[in-house]
A and B are shown apart, each in its own frame.
Chain A
Amino acid sequence: MIRFNKASKRYSGGFQALENISFHLKKGEMSFLTGHSGAGKSTLLKLISAIEPPTGGQVLVNGYDLNKIRAGKIPYFRREIGIIFQDYKLLYDRTVFDNVALPLIVSGTSFRDVGSRVRAALGKVGLSGREKASPIVLSGGEQQRVSIARAIVHHPPLLLADEPTGNLDPDLARDIMNLFSEMNQLGMTTLIASHDWGLIGRMGKRILHLEEGRLQDPDQEWQR
């Protein structure tokens, strides 16, 4: 599903955020991405979602070669990914419903399906009945869950999550992790960046560890 071949990222300012990253995440795999603040976790996820282009090496995701992808193809590429952003990226002048519905709307889903799917997604993150609210009036954790609902509403084959439980209390964080794990069991490939060592440890999944832009993947050798 995701393959990095000696990929690196140097930002236009000259900062080398990722260096010589190689790993392979198979279809249906669930794994965690850890590392200190500034280690490059968000940058790695941005490379995978074609938000930033790699400046070296090769990045292949879901059959697309992101070094060569044409701008016109990127929307269709992104429709197969659910992304949970560290800063949520919600639209504050729209209702919760409209926010969650966005991935369905852009891909032309019929009105009837939109309603039921949005409600189902909100149900999964424990926000049933908040459709009409504006994200502004929601707590940080609730906003985070809206962004999670938006990422899973269209059942993407690949889920990328950047600190998806950063603002949630331990119980809720565990529920969300369980939700991801459940969806992974249904076939969704999942990559989750997180600081929450305790929670990650308990999940017993593969861990990709970033250290100042370099990957330490103890599982790498036997996973290949």
Chain B
Amino acid sequence: MNSEPRHNYRHKPEHVVSHMEVNKTRVEGRVKIYFQRHLQVLMSCLGQLYRAPISNLLTVLVIAISLSLPALLLVALDNARSLIVGWDDNAEISLFLDPSLTHSDGERVKEQLLGWRELSSARYLSAQQSLLDFKAYSGFGEVLELLDENPLPAVIVLTPRDSTPDAVAPLLERLQQLPEVDLAQLDLEWLGKIYAMMNVAERAAWVLGVLLAIAVLLIVGNTVRVSIQQRRTEIEVCKLVGGTNSFIRRPFLYMGIIQGAVGGMLAIILVSSALFLLNGPVVQLSTLYQSNFELLGMGFLFSLLLLLSSMMLGWLGSLFTVSYYIREIEPS
């Protein structure tokens, strides 16, 4: 028990330190080897792609096209949204007048309102005109025909000079106070409809994106499967000399990631060129509408996201396939 010589204790701290240092260099060595291995596998994978150019080119193209469709749709929506942002400038206020007012009363109120600084225009619609408008635009005209009387009041349509919510709110308040007015309403319903439509379109883009992402998984999985079959003996021999499954999986995972990366970059190029081609006509169109709208590009973040998701899809597609087949292939 106590036979250990005393001086050993004195040396103990040193031993501990040197032991830790040995461990540290060992860990550093391990890390270095780890990166060396990965680099080596990466290089050999690049070689592999180079050696089977056609099937890999096809895979990469399918990835690129699959990803550029939803990406293009999302970019288009982004553009539509930026275009619409300017549109609530044209917000209108509808004043529903007291039904007891006469036609000339209505005209008088309109003239009076034209004098307001906050308003840039005012338009009087008699009850009769409102009905015609409603029939023309709402699609519920038949319903109204069932009624004996015209239920619609006369309306004055106003355009505020400043339609930001802060400016419009007190204006609405003031208009509501007028004795001739039943109801003052800010008319942004149509804008809401457009936003709703765009939400639908955006949802559709994501659904399309998910479907095409599955397609990417499948195509990468298939290419990797073919490659696994071709390298059957290699996998067997690796297993025979003590290669772990994760070691054997690695080159195939790299292959998936590389295909995803190349496909993703190609998708970015495709979408950018499509936007470039569309930009000319769009600018022309917007000039006709006295607007100086220009198409927004994909932006750095979105491109990065596209590239990363493409790489991840490649990795996943490969992982699923290789994990399945690696168990099938056993040396005999």
Contact = CB atoms under 8 A, between A and B. Distances in A.
Interface of A: 49, 51-52, 72, 74-79, 83, 85, 89-91, 93, 102-103, 105-111, 150
Contact of A105 (B37, B233, B234): B37
A75 B37 contact: no
Interface stretch (B86-94, B210-218, B235-243, B300-308): B235-243
Given A51-B331, A102-B237, A76 B242 contact: yes
A110 B241 contact: no
A90 B245 CA distance: 20
B331 A103 contact: no
B244 interface: yes
A150 B241 contact: yes
B75 to A, nearest CB: 44
A90 B233 CA distance: 9
Interface string B164-178: 000000000000000
Interface string B12-44: 000000000000000001101110110000000
Given A51-B331, A52-B332, A89 B240 contact: yes
A81 to B, nearest CB: 8
B247 interface: yes
B30 A103 contact: no
Given A102-B237, A102-B238, A75 B244 contact: yes
Contacts of B37: 105, 108
A78 B240 contact: yes
Nearest to A153: B241
Given A106-B241, A108-B34, 5 more contacts: A52-B332, A102-B237, A105-B37, A106-B243, A108-B30
A54 B36 CA distance: 39
Nearest to A88: B237
Contact of B240 (A83, A107, A109): A83
Contacts of A76: 242, 244
A171 B332 CA distance: 32
A77 B241 CA distance: 10
Contacts of B330: 51
A51 B240 contact: yes
A148 to B, nearest CB: 13
Given A106-B241, A106-B244, A89 B332 contact: no
8 contacts: A72-B245, A75-B243, A75-B247, A77-B242, A102-B241, A106-B243, A108-B37, A111-B33
B32 A110 contact: yes
B237 A91 contact: yes
A55 to B, nearest CB: 15
B239 A75 contact: yes
Contacts of B247: 75, 106
Interface in B136-151: none
A103 B236 CA distance: 13
A192 B37 CA distance: 33
A106 B240 CA distance: 10
A79 B237 contact: no
Interface centre among B32, B237, B245 (most CB of A within 10 A): B237
A78 B234 contact: no
Nearest to B239: A75
Contacts of A74: 239
Contact of B36 (A75, A107, A111): A111
A103 B34 contact: no
Interface in B144-191: none
A110 B35 CA distance: 10
Contacts of A111: 33, 36
